[in-house]
Structure 1
Amino acid sequence: MTDPLLPGDPAELGGYRLLGRLGQGGMGAVYLGEHPDGRLVAVKMIRPELAPDTEFRARFRSEVNRARQVPPFCTAEVLDADPDHPTPYLVVEYVDGPSLSAVIARNGPLGGGALHSVAVGVATALAAIHGASVIHRDLKPSNVLLAPGLPKVIDFGIARAFEATSRHTRTDQMVGTVAYMAPESIDNEHFGEVGPAADVFAWGAVITYAGTGRTPFRADSPTATAARILTQPPDLTGLPAPLRQVVARTLEKNPADRPTASELLQLLLDLDPGDKTELIRPELLQAAAAAQNNPRPHRRPRRLRRTVLAGLGVLALGAGGLFASHTAGGVSKTVNPAESAPAWQRADGGPALIDRLDRPAQWREWVEAEGRCLFANGRLEARTGMAPVFRCSGPSDPFAKDQAIRVGAAILTPGSCAAIWFRMVGTEGPLASLCETEVRLGLDTADGVTGEVQAALPSALGRVRRVEVLVRDQQATVSVDGAAVLTKQFGAAMPAAGRVTFGVLDAAISGNAHVAFTGAEVVAAASRSAAPSASGPRPRFADLTRGNVTSVATLHAYDPAHASAVLEPMLFLTGDAYCRAFQIDRSDDRCVHHAWMTESSNTKVTVPIAANAKYFTWEDPDGAVHMDAPEKGGTYPAGAKKFAQMFKKGEASMIAVTTEGGRITRMAVVYTP
């Protein structure tokens, strides 16, 4: 339901026309907005008192960038944001449906298939959110919207921006609604740090409320409720038995005893069909399957299904002729080998992964009986073993919408194919294969590769070829050495989002397929209709992979054993310098009153660490902290061992980094969680 705008409400924000009020929350006012192209969106305007806070803006910017990477599986997609606007705002997908809390208040508790649908939908959303390394932190019935067909979870990941704002959050104040808080959110001294398991606990409380009309630790006051969460078992009376057992597991006091979001989703899908089929819609089951994002490489033997070419064959009409292919089950474009690869441009601020593939970092080593992926000879080499297909263990970062993949690939033994999976969900997704004398493009499923189309190539055994896959909407184009050779329209079979990784196929069933990869780049590509950014110019970020540079960066992974780090370059500027970089009027509040501003590149790069690299922290030998020059990081020597201990939890931290010749020579702590 939309209410009229109030006196003092803006009529427009960031180019979005505001049509009415959807609500008011702790974050600020929520408006129904209209995009210039006519689409309806939800525009969340941050509370005005937070606008002058530099710390809040920096945290808000970081959390929004993370939230943008969450795939749209039962979540309201983050569409736009401007943390640097005089009144910061966030734009998300408009979900035309009531909240779970409103439905329960109006109609009473849910039951049967309706309850199970909500349970599966919210678990699906958590699996997608956690798969993008985001934590919701404020999951509650009012943040679950019951859209037609699919429940949608909103406001994920943003609570931390408020939690970390010291100027507006008292030290004894908790962010969230007590009835849905995990024990560690209330008392982390005894129950450990707040992580994804807290969202799983909140799921259990939300589903208890959905099925009974009350929370599992209900008491007369927030303080009494918190005490019951810390000390008493949950009251699950009224929940159906199979679901009650799953909910009980999610409400364990110890976070380690709760299932992960992916495990929770599998538990729900494995329940007896009699408890879930009545009202669960096919699109919800499809979203649930898509959200089960397993970053581990393929484990079980699989058979390859090659499309039989009946009478048509593959034509190779000389070195200067046409490469043509026609196969059942797909649409293949006939192209000239001289035709240039389709142009693409990285989406403004979109995610990117860059890795030389010369050492373990974003892609990792993996050895099993079915095959192995190891780093040797300065590249990633993949071999089959007992299985004809083997995937390397790659990054879990999901990519949605348009994207481009570039990688060098070499076929090292006859009958081998270098495989590139994209939009991969679990172990399935579109597959581009560079083989010894052809390129293939199809859909990898549990039954093998289906709908495959092919195009012939001259043999280049042992030579590195530059392969590019460009994905636009539901179509993919493969180019080799700068020439487009194959296009396929996947249609509805193309997943909405998924991971990218590499591997090997044994087309000859020899048991010894062997390929190599080098120099990987995966980016979100700008769509054909993308308009220029309304937030002003995007400045250049430091290229840590070459030359001699110094920059502040987010440290995502640190592996001293393999001398590698995964970094995300960022800007860490005074307010005045930030306004110059973004061409903001010098009279703007950000230029005058903000001591420091940050901007993330949203680009993860693997950078080698020099043998003589130096490490620094803010702590002096006596343990005192001295933060004199934040942009340069700590100045007290730490040593590689102490530095490794600081980051062993794998949480993203901010460091000042210096590289020489593309190798890290200095890392200094700026901020750790």
Structure 2
Amino acid sequence: MATPLRPGDGTRIGRYDLVGRLGEGGMGTVYLGRSPQGRPVAIKTVRIDFTGDAEFRARFRGEVNRARQVPPFSTAEVLDADPDHQPPYLVVEYVDGPSLATKVREDGPLTGSGLHGLAIGIATALTAIHGAGVIHRDLKPGNVLLAPGGTKVIDFGIARAFEATSRHTRTDQMVGTVAYMAPERFDPAPGGRPTTAAADIFAWGAVVAYAATGRTPFDADSATATAVRILTQPPDLTGLPPALHDAVEWALAKEPQDRPTARQLLDLLVAAPTSASPASPSAAPPVPSAAGVAPSGPVPPDTLPPGRRGRRLRTAAIVGLALAALAGAGLVAAHELSAADKPEPPAAAPSGGPASRPTPSPVDTHAAILRGKHRTLIHLAEADRDLALDLHDNQVVAGDGTGAKSLFVLVPYGVDYLIRTLRDTASAAETCLGVKIVPDGPASLAPADCEPTAATVFSLSAANGTDDKGRPTYWMTNEAYGFVQYSPTRRAVFVQEVGDARPLSTFSLVDRGPD
């Protein structure tokens, strides 16, 4: 859904009229526009700080030219681009439909033919993308749109222009979302392993598992823990329909050479039934391993062939390096997993009569906060203070954590959050935190309408540490305006433009009970 243009956006870029905003991220802004023929289009503009880099413009031009060769079935067609414009922009087909992330968040996991059709649609898109010599690099639920005519994959190929430009992406940074990144993408060794089409296949497996179960197959409480599971653990495919289980398991192989191609996936999916009885898990065809034998469970390391043993030893060796890279690249690599990735777990089915019902497990309060089910204090770890709304000045300050002014609820929005305040429970309209531009000074936080805009959507990225109570800490970022920071000298909360700055303030979430 488009939101109104903001002051300073302008009303035209190139040959296109700008009608509204579709989104904003770390790379730039996406507008809803109209072509000279009146056709609705999506226009992605690049952030101004990228545009002075000749290397970036050259890579952007090359990636756009390749992306334009991708056949438009199951993808948003690339219609136009101008790498030399200020700012550079890319025009693609406008797809009027929700993302997979929104669909699962609002309606729950997909089932039956809808799920199988989604798996086929994404595999079809990857077949076209890879056939044109393009690698997506950031396949995730937010980049899969459910259009009336079928599944559409967007944002393919262009990530390489950002990822490979040294001025903006250091060697310890990655473009992508951790929960959908293949193991080889965490290898920070000099010269590391190149990203290949097999990384998109791994992401396909993670996306399909998420669509079917409402969680990612390596789900964990932080980006770092998720990366460790991707590197060292088998995927959790509990709840995945038998007809898709083998294909997804094959796609999630640790080594890129052990994964199928997009075409092999497509052939397997078209041949597989759309449903199978739980009593007949063998209904789906067996998936061959690299040696042509169906996998039959984990193999002890000392019984693996020397080559496979070496892979495991190498994986163990790079885990520590990968974690160090994540610590340095958290704000580029991924947002913290949100409720879109971690819904309420379904109740276990009883195995017998009423007497055999499972005992409910204790509530994971931290996960409940991230799902928007519990109220929270937003604790400034370094200052031992809590964010609070100053009702007199209508701004966010560092307080003592008492009263409704310090209580918030995280409202999941894709992989990001709206932050709803409980300062005035009698008001009919909900109030959230937003970024307020202050003349001749840094931006601040202030109350705003609870509508997802560039000013009100925040991400939580794992800071890979804990506060004095052992709670995980996060950096809080608004992608349009910058890091949420606290100045001990000024005793003020402010928003610092990203630029070359690094986040200095970390935040933890303190449970204050169900909302």
For this structure pair, what is the TM-score category when the shorter chain's length is used for normalisation?
0.5 to 0.7
Aligned AA (2:145): L
Residue pairs, 1:269-668, within 5 angstroms: 269-274=270-275
Match of 2:252 in 1: 251
8 Å CA contact 1:112, 1:275 repeated in 2? no
Q: Deviations over 1:185-210 (max 9, x none)?
A: 11165984310000000000000110
Residue 64 of structure 1 aligns to a residue whose secondary structure is: helix
Separation in 1, partners of 2:140, 2:5: 26
> Is residue 135–residue 157 contact of structure 2 (8 Å, CA) maintained in 1?
yes
Letter in 2 for 1:28: G
Matched-pair contact (CA < 8 Å) for 2:242–2:276: no
Residues 23-422 of structure 1 aligned to structure 2 (within 5 Å): 23-187=23-187, 189=189, 192-274=193-275
Amino acid of the structure 2 residue aligned with 1:252: A
Conserved in 2, the CA contact under 8 Å of 1:30 and 1:43? yes
Distance 2:226 2:151 in 1: 27
How far did residue 122 of structure 1 move? 0.4
AA of the residue aligned to 1:186: F
TM-score normalised by structure 1 residue count: 0.40
Q: Within 2, Cα distance between the matches of 1:208 and 1:24?
A: 27
Q: Distance in 2 between matches of 1:185 and 1:208?
A: 20
Q: Which secondary structure does the structure 2 equivalent of 1:37 belong to?
A: coil
Say if 1:170 and 1:188 are closer, same or farther in 2 by CA, change over 3 A.
Answer: closer
Does the residue aligned with 2:74 lie in a helix, a strand or coil? Answer: coil
Q: Secondary structure of the residue that 2:52 maps to in structure 1? A: coil
Q: CA deviation at 1:273?
A: 4.9
In the alignment, is the contact (CA less than 8 A) between 2:110 and 2:212 conserved in 1? yes
Give yes or no for contact 2:116–2:274 (8 Å, CA) kept in 1: no
Are residues 166 and 273 of structure 1, via their aligned partners in 2, closer, same or farther at CA, if it must alter by over 3 Å?
closer
Amino acid at match of 2:142: S
Structure 2: gaps of 5 or more residues: 278-515
Distance in 2 between the 1:135 and 1:47 partners?
A: 22
Secondary structure, aligned partner of 1:79? strand
Cα distance in 1 between the residues matched to 2:271 and 2:240: 17
Name the CA distance, whole Å, in 2 between partners of 1:275 and 1:268.
Answer: 13
SS in 1 for 2:266: helix
Note the C-alpha offset of 1:274: 4.6
The answer to whether the 8 A contact 2:241-2:275 is kept is no
Shift in Å at residue 170 of structure 1? 2.1
Q: CA deviation at 1:275?
A: 5.9
Q: Following the alignment from structure 2 to structure 1, what is the Cα–Cα distance between the partners of residues 92 and 234?
A: 37
Q: Which amino acid in structure 2 is aligned with residue 224 of structure 1?
A: A
TM superposition shift of 1:166: 1.0
The amino acid that maps onto 1:234 is P
State the percentage of identical aligned residues: 68
Q: 1:68 and 1:14 mapped to 2: Cα distance?
A: 18
State the alpha-carbon separation in 1 of the partners of residues 26 and 74 from structure 2. 23
Distance 1:14 1:159 in 2: 22
SS of residue matched to 2:236:
coil
CA displacement 1:502-558 (0-9 Å, x = unmatched): xxxxxxxxxxxxxxxxxxxxxxxxxxxxxxxxxxxxxxxxxxxxxxxxxxxxxxxxx
Q: Residues of 2 paired with 1:223 and 1:173: CA distance?
A: 14
SS of residue in 2 equivalent to 1:23: strand
CA distance in 2, matches of 1:74, 1:42: 16
Deviates more, 1:42-51 or 1:181-190: 181-190
**Alignment partners' CA distance in 2, 1:271 and 1:106:** 28
CA distance in 1, matches of 2:85, 2:275: 51
Q: Using the TM superposition, give the Cα deviation of residue 86 of structure 1 relative to its aligned residue in structure 2, in angstroms.
A: 1.3
Residue 26 (structure 1) shift: 2.6
Name the TM-score, length of structure 2 as normaliser. Answer: 0.52
Alpha-carbon displacement from aligned partner over 1:129-171 (angstroms, at most 9, x marks no partner)? 0011110000000000000121000010001000011111122
CA distance, structure 1, for counterparts of residue 76 and residue 2 of structure 2 = 18
Q: CA deviation at 1:223?
A: 1.1
Q: Distance in 1 between matches of 2:162 and 2:255?
A: 26
For the 8 Å contact 2:243–2:275, the answer to whether it is kept is no
Residues 577-619 of structure 1 show CA distances to partners (whole Å, capped at 9, x for unaligned) of: xxxxxxxxxxxxxxxxxxxxxxxxxxxxxxxxxxxxxxxxxxx
* Secondary structure of 1:233's aligned partner: coil
Question: Equivalent residue of 1:63, what SS?
Answer: helix
1:336-358 C-alpha deviation (Å, 9 max, x unpaired): xxxxxxxxxxxxxxxxxxxxxxx
The secondary structure found in structure 2 opposite 1:30 is strand
Deviation string 1:402-423 (CA, Å, 9 cap, x unpaired) is: xxxxxxxxxxxxxxxxxxxxxx
C-alpha contact (below 8 Å) 1:104/1:110 kept by paired residues: yes
- Once residues 86 and 245 of structure 1 are traced to their aligned partners in structure 2, the CA distance between those partners, rounded to angstroms, is 48
Question: Aligned-pair distance for 1:8?
Answer: 1.4
Supply the distance in 2 between the matched residues of 1:267 and 1:59 (Cα, whole angstroms). Answer: 35
Partner SS, residue 256 of structure 1: helix
Q: How far has the Cα of 1:25 moved from its partner? A: 1.9
Structure having the higher strand fraction is 1
- 2:273 and 2:176 mapped to 1: Cα distance? 34
Residue 10 of structure 1 deviates from its aligned partner by: 1.9
SS of match in other structure, 1:42: strand
Partner of residue 6, structure 2: 6
On the 8 A contact 1:183/1:191 being kept in 2, the answer is no
2:219 and 2:263 map into 1 onto residues whose CA distance is 28
Q: Take 1:275 and 1:119, find their aligned partners in 2: how far apart are those partners?
A: 16
Cα deviation digits, residues 557-589 of structure 1 (max 9, x gap): xxxxxxxxxxxxxxxxxxxxxxxxxxxxxxxxx
SS in 1 for 2:97: coil
